[in-house]
Structure 1
């Protein structure tokens, strides 16, 4: 079958699609990384070599292949080559501690670990240095494998607030949905990738681009000016960025001199995206701006086409067609339209479960009265009269102060309006008087006492901040989410 025929079918695997693209458009650039480029024919051959070498190393179909290190071309090749062998890619976050990383390798039972020189962790499995990948490779044709929709594609680890790794098992069917929902024109896309390859945020644009036969431009790390330089150089047309990256790009004093007219689609996910920032991107950066809300675990996804709904920028949009998103109360009952509840979602793109964690899988699952399985998103939200979802906060971040529910996002929305504040976050701190009380942290030049008074004058009595601290920067993970547990630890 041709790639077009596969894409029109009920199911195809990414390795098979890449093989078809190699036949149909072999000389087309597939992945660009700095001065290196591989076309589809070269990518197909590299995947074969890696798959064959894994099989020669007694790595079996269905085994996990752990990958640890920063974004690189060889990292991407190992990930894709593991899939060609029928293995399960297990990308690990370099920001985790050595103990956490060892626990992840043990949890997924990977018989092999590919790592860069800076992350040579002590684990009792075969290790291959990514920088020496060529020395490990063998030439040969890999055994063909048959992969079904329910077979695991990858395991992504999310440590959560406790630091205990949870492996999110995503099947091939979930990735097929991601490929299938890519918009028309993705076959000619030049996708700028500036988030790490171990993040699902990255994979939901990286994998569909290759599935459709487009070109991926990988950046080793994100820096706003370098992103703009590379986007102009390669005539970038698609990108997935997180809000803090948009913020830094739009704040670059030279932004308006770069030619970004090639962009047809810019997307965002993973963290709160303020209405003001969306409006700035709409005004100054050509192309569609689309916000997606969803989870690595899957469940339901909402979409907001910002260009079409400039009056709804405070929301995360409406559920994608065919996806079921509902709101439930603490007793697991659906709430009425307009009321606040926890978000649960159901779709064709859902994790199989947390690897080896039936308890955690059960805790993340909700069943409706008809017995349909939903994923609990852990967010609190409300649907407006037009069906657009407004997120209020993470359920675990909700502050209950004196018996009143206080949503940190409401306080953050006021705090960021002060001209002396460029970034901020609000967390709940234990209080003998109130049980919990809100405390703010901000980045900026303003005086803490003056900003605190200004902010509290604009908040309701039960919302007022108990304290405000200035910090040099907010702690964030690699995809821009504020690590609120670290902020709580900073407060005496």
Structure 2
């Protein structure tokens, strides 16, 4: 089958596409590290074969899993693709997880091998993982990756990989409890890969990725770039100046960033000095993206801006083509083609435009379920009157008359004060208008008088000074009586997950455990 026919097919595998790209353009750079280390498509495809052959040699069967917990690297990327070529599911785990949590996730997915680096090995000392460790960085964390690989020129035995076959098991952040393993299939990932031409990937993109490879945020850009025969430039850790240097040096066409990274870039005094004119499209997902920040990015950074709203679990996705709809920056866009997104009330009844409800979605891109957790899978679904299964997002929103969705908040973060619903996002939007405020988060805390009351945590811009009471007065003068803040707390920074989500549970805990409470 020709490459064009493979791309046009209803289903295929990223491993097959990679092999064809290597045949088509063997000398093109596939993966480049910020340090300058790089591999061509021919070299990368050969490395992927060696991984797949080594997994088969070690008896890791199709449908089984391997776990990986490390910072982004070329060996990490090759491991991911090599496992997929062997029909083996990949369970990428965040190194920021606790040692006990890492051990629990490795055990939960039934990993046959555990790939890690020196940083993770140091953190793992209190909770060793009872499977064979392999060190991607060649450290003493385990058997060296280069020594583990199958010999050069090794090729794996071809395996049949169907659309329902598990592609990866991505664990939820665990910010609301024990992480759940989200099983994504090859069919689901295939649907993600070739939507690129419609949103600007086009021919041979160069994508700069500073978010980690263990995040679904990164993977939704990583795989389409390789499938399109482009170059992925990987950073181990985001740094504003280094990011801008790499973007200019490599003449990037695409990038994926989370909102806090966009804000830090926009705040940097030298941002406008860098040549980013090669950029065709910028993407954002994973956390609320403020309208004022979107407007800044559109004004100061060439190329389009696309915001995705959806879940790792799949279901429904909304897409905002911000450059095409500058009057809709307060929204997360419209449902993607083929995606059915609805809103339901507390009783599971569908609500119409203008009415707030929980967002549920259905599409061809849906998880197989939570690994080993049929109870949690059932809890995460809503069945429509037609009998179709939708995935609950846990987010609350409202459609306008044109079909654009405004995201209000996480359902669990909504504050009920004196019987009134307060959406933290409304207050956060006012807080960041204060000239000294860099970012803000609002949480509900217990109140004898009102049941709950809103408290704001704010981080100030560098070189800015502001009193907490002055910020509270600024906000309370612009909001309704029921929305008024009870307190403002100035902090150095907001606690965040590895993909930039504010950990509001930690803020609530810090407030309730403070000596003044």
TM interval, short-chain normalised: over 0.9
- 2:370 and 2:95 map into 1 onto residues whose CA distance is 20
**1:430-449 correspondence runs (5 A):** 430-444=446-460, 445-449=465-469
CA-to-aligned-CA distance 1:166-215 (integer Å, 9 cap, x gap): 00000011110111211254331001111000000000000111112111
The yes-or-no answer on 1:303 pairing with 2:315 is no
- 2:63 and 2:256 map into 1 onto residues whose CA distance is 30
CA-to-aligned-CA distance 1:94-143 (integer Å, 9 cap, x gap): 11101001110010000100000121231111111112210111212211
Q: How many residues align?
A: 492
- 2:113 and 2:177 map into 1 onto residues whose CA distance is 23
- 2:103 and 2:109 map into 1 onto residues whose CA distance is 10
CA-to-aligned-CA distance 1:229-274 (integer Å, 9 cap, x gap): 0011000001111111111111111111111111111111111111
SS at match of 2:481: coil
What residue is the counterpart of 1:96 in the other structure?
A: 97
SS at match of 1:67: strand
- 2:39 and 2:413 map into 1 onto residues whose CA distance is 44
What residue is the counterpart of 2:488 in the other structure?
A: 468
What residue is the counterpart of 2:194 in the other structure?
A: 180
- 1:166 and 1:185 map into 2 onto residues whose CA distance is 32
The yes-or-no answer on 1:169 pairing with 2:186 is no
The yes-or-no answer on 1:143 pairing with 2:157 is yes
Q: Cα distance, 1:357 vs. partner?
A: 0.7
2:456–2:488 CA contact under 8 A, matched in 1? yes
Moved more, 7-16 or 133-142: 133-142
Give the 4+ runs in structure 1 shifted more than 6 A.
Answer: none
What residue is the counterpart of 2:233 in the other structure?
A: 217
Residue 359 of structure 2: which of 333, 343, 349 is its match? 343
What residue is the counterpart of 2:141 in the other structure?
A: none
Q: Relative to 1, partners in 2 of residues 1:288 and 1:372: Cα closer, same or farther, differing over 3 Å?
A: same
The yes-or-no answer on 1:81 pairing with 2:68 is no
What residue is the counterpart of 2:3 in the other structure?
A: 3
SS at match of 1:474: coil
- 1:70 and 1:304 map into 2 onto residues whose CA distance is 30
SS at match of 1:101: helix
2:173–2:497 CA contact under 8 A, matched in 1? no
SS at match of 1:186: coil
1:179–1:211 CA contact under 8 A, matched in 2? yes
- 1:254 and 1:440 map into 2 onto residues whose CA distance is 30
The yes-or-no answer on 1:245 pairing with 2:284 is no
**1:40-439 correspondence runs (5 A):** 40-120=41-121, 121=124, 122-132=128-138, 133-139=145-151, 140-183=154-197, 185-439=201-455
- 2:278 and 2:498 map into 1 onto residues whose CA distance is 27
CA-to-aligned-CA distance 1:318-368 (integer Å, 9 cap, x gap): 111111000000000001221110000011111111101111111110110
SS at match of 1:114: strand
CA-to-aligned-CA distance 1:400-453 (integer Å, 9 cap, x gap): 111111100011111111112111000011122211111000012210011112
1:103–1:165 CA contact under 8 A, matched in 2? no
Q: Cα distance, 1:30 vs. partner?
A: 0.7
- 2:157 and 2:218 map into 1 onto residues whose CA distance is 29
Structure 2 residues not aligned, in runs of 5+: 139-144, 513-517
- 1:161 and 1:22 map into 2 onto residues whose CA distance is 40
1:2–1:24 CA contact under 8 A, matched in 2? no
In the superposition, the TM-score normalised over structure 2's length comes to 0.94
In the superposition, the TM-score normalised over structure 1's length comes to 0.98
Q: Cα distance, 1:41 vs. partner?
A: 1.0
SS at match of 1:491: helix
What residue is the counterpart of 1:488 in the other structure?
A: 508
2:211–2:217 CA contact under 8 A, matched in 1? yes
